[in-house]
Amino acid sequence: MPQEFNSQICAPFFSVGSDRDLGLGSTLQELSMCRFQVEISSTAKEVVRFFEKYPLLPGAILLEEGKFIGMLSRKHLLEFLIRPYGPELLSRELLGVIYSYARTTILLLPDTVPILTAMQLSLRRSPELLAEPIVVQTAPDTYRLLEVQELNIASWQIRGIEAQVRYERSQAKMIQNDKMANLGRLVDGVVHEILDPVGFIWGNLTYVSKYSQDLLKLIGVYEEILSEDSQKVRQIKEDIEFDFIEQDLSQTLTSIRHGAERLKKLVASLQNFCYIDEVYSKPADLHACIDSIVLLINSRIKGEIEISKSYGHLPPICCFMGQLNQVLMNIFSQAVDALLNESVRHKFQPESINTTRKPRIEVTTEIISQPSINLNAPDSRWVSIRIADNGPGMSQELQQQIIESFSVQKRADKETSLAVSYQIITARHGGKLNLRSELGVGTEFEILLPLV
C-alpha cells in the first residue's frame, strides 16, 4: 500500500499569469509560476514522490528553518538518481544531504524585473544551466520557480509585439516620407498656383485704391460747389473716366474675390493632404478629398489632361483622412505619369500613338453591394472610388509585378507607392484595392471601403 505524503510538505501551488496582454514593460509578476517550498530536513524520497505526482513541477525551493537556502531542480535530482548507488542513497538520506551533492548556481530575481531583462540574464548563464528554472522572489520570505520555457514564450511574444511596433513606426515614417516626396514634386507648381491668385489680389487692390481715391476726390468737389456751376464736376468725371470706373469697380472686386477664393481652396487642399491622422478614424467627405487632390495636381497637368468627375451620393465615411489622401495622390500620380509619358512618346513617335483621343482621367464614386460570404447574411455595402485613365495600359507581366508587390514579403524588400496604398486601404481601413488594365485601352484602380 503506498505510503501517504509527508504532511509537513505543502502541495505545490501553480499560479496563473496575468490576463493582460504582454507589453515591452511587462515584468515577471505577469507570468505563471510554481510555489513548492521544502525544508531540507525532509527526506529526498518524499520530494521525488512529489515530482512523480506533479510532472509539471520544475523543482523545489529549499528552506532551512524557514529561511531560503537554494533550489533543487527536477533535472538535477533525476541526474542524481542515475548515478551509481543513487537510488539507495536517495531512499535513506535527508534532502539537505542530497542538496550538498547536487548544488548548482541559481538565478535569483525579484518579480519586478522586466521579462526581457530576465531573458537576457537567463541566456548569460553557463550552457549546462540554461534549462534550469529561475527562482523569483515575490515577497520577503516567499519564492517561486519560473520555467525557462514559460519565460521564452513570453519573451518571444513581446519580441513580436516590439517588431510589430517597429514595423508600424517604419510604415508611418515611410508613408510620411512618401508624402513629403510627393509634396516636393508638387511644391514648385503649388507655389505658382498660390502666387497667381496673390498677384490677382495685390494687382487689383492697386486699382481699387486708386478708384477709391478718385471717387473720394469727386465727392469732395461735389461738396464744395454743389450749388455752383457743375461744369467743374463734369470735367473731373471726364478726367477720371467716372463712367468706366463705375462699370469696372464691380468686376474688379469680383476678380479679387475669385482670387482669394482660389487661394483659400489651394491652401485648404494642401492642408488636407498634409493632415496628420489621429489614433481613431473620423468621418470625412470623400468628394472633398478627391477635389483637393485634383486641385493639387492641376499644376502638373497644365490643361493637357482632362479630368471628369461623376459623383454619387455618399454619406460621410469614417477613415484616416491623411492616409486616404496619400492613396488618392499615389493613384492620381500613377495615372498622370502614364498619360504624360504617352504624350512625350507621341512627340517623338507621332505615327505610333493614337491622336484621336485626348488624355483623360475619369473619377466615379458610388455605393455598391457585394454578396456576403455568409449565405444567410445580407449583402455587404461598399463605397467604390474608381479612377480610370485612357492611357497605354499595362501588360500582364507589369500587373502581376504590382500585385506581387502588395504581399508582405515584397513590401519588406522594396516599398512602392502602390504597395503603401494597398497597405493603407486593406490594413488600416479594412477595404480592397483592385487593379484592372488593358493594353491600348487604359488602367483603372478601384478603392473599396466598407460602409458601416
List, for residues 302-311, the tens digit of each pLDDT value.
778 899 999 9
The predicted model gives 216-233 an average pLDDT of 68
Instruction: Write phi, then psi, for 93 (nearest 5 degrees).
Output: -100, 155
DSSP 68-121: EEEEEEHHHHHHHHTSTTHHHHHHHSBHHHHHHHH-----EEETTSBHHHHHHH
What does the alpha-carbon distance between residue 106 and residue 132 come to, in Å, rounded to a whole number?
A: 8
pLDDT at 182: 67
The predicted model gives 215-225 an average pLDDT of 72
The predicted model gives 174-202 an average pLDDT of 66
What does the alpha-carbon distance between residue 51 and residue 231 come to, in Å, rounded to a whole number?
A: 124
pLDDT at 141: 82
Instruction: Give the contacts of 349 (CB within 8 A, at least 6 positions apart).
Output: none
CATH assignment of 10-146, among 1.10.10.10, 3.90.850.10, 3.10.580.10, 3.30.43.10:
3.10.580.10
pLDDT in tens, 39-61: 888 887 788 888 888 888 888 88
pLDDT in tens, 372-424: 665 565 678 899 999 999 988 888 888 888 888 777 555 544 567 888 888 88
Across 22-38, b (16+ Cβ under 10 Å) vs e yields beeebbbbbbebbbbbb
Instruction: Give the contacts of 423 (CB within 8 A, at least 6 positions apart).
Output: 171, 406, 411
Indicate the pLDDT class of residue 355, thresholds 50, 70 and 90. low
Q: Which helix (H) or strand (E) holds 294?
A: helix 286-301
Structural contact between residues 169 and 61, judged by C-beta atoms closer than 8 angstroms: no
C-alpha cell at 330: 499615389
290-304, 340-354, 356-370: range with lowest mean pLDDT: 340-354
pLDDT at 4: 44
Indicate the pLDDT class of residue 1, thresholds 50, 70 and 90. very low
For residue 41, CA distances in Å to 69, 94, 103, 223 come to 13, 6, 16, 122
The domain ranges of the chain are: 10-146, 163-274, 277-347+357-451
Task: Pick the more confident residue, 213 or 426.
Answer: 426
Question: What is this structure's pTM?
Answer: 0.50
51-65, 204-218, 300-314: range with lowest mean pLDDT: 204-218
C-alpha cell at 253: 472686386
What does the alpha-carbon distance between residue 420 and residue 323 come to, in Å, rounded to a whole number?
A: 10
C-alpha cell at 219: 465727392
Indicate the pLDDT class of residue 5, thresholds 50, 70 and 90. very low
3-class secondary-structure state, position 278: coil
Nearest to 153 by CA among 125, 111, 112, 122: 122
What does the alpha-carbon distance between residue 254 and residue 432 come to, in Å, rounded to a whole number?
A: 45
| N-to-C CA span, the chain | 69
In the chain, count of helices (H) and strands (E)? 13, 15
Q: Is 442 left (phi over 0), alpha (psi -120 to 50) or beta?
A: left
Indicate the pLDDT class of residue 278, thresholds 50, 70 and 90. low
3-class secondary-structure state, position 304: coil
28-37, 254-263, 291-300, 313-322: range with lowest mean pLDDT: 254-263
CATH topology of domain 277-347+357-451: Heat Shock Protein 90 (3.30.565)
- Measured on CA atoms in the order 160, 166, 170, 172, is the torsion positive or negative? positive
The share of the chain scoring above pLDDT 70, in percent, equals 81
Indicate the pLDDT class of residue 366, thresholds 50, 70 and 90. very high
Q: Is 65 left (phi over 0), alpha (psi -120 to 50) or beta?
A: left
Task: Pick the more confident residue, 109 or 2.
Answer: 109
Structural contact between residues 72 and 143, judged by C-beta atoms closer than 8 angstroms: no
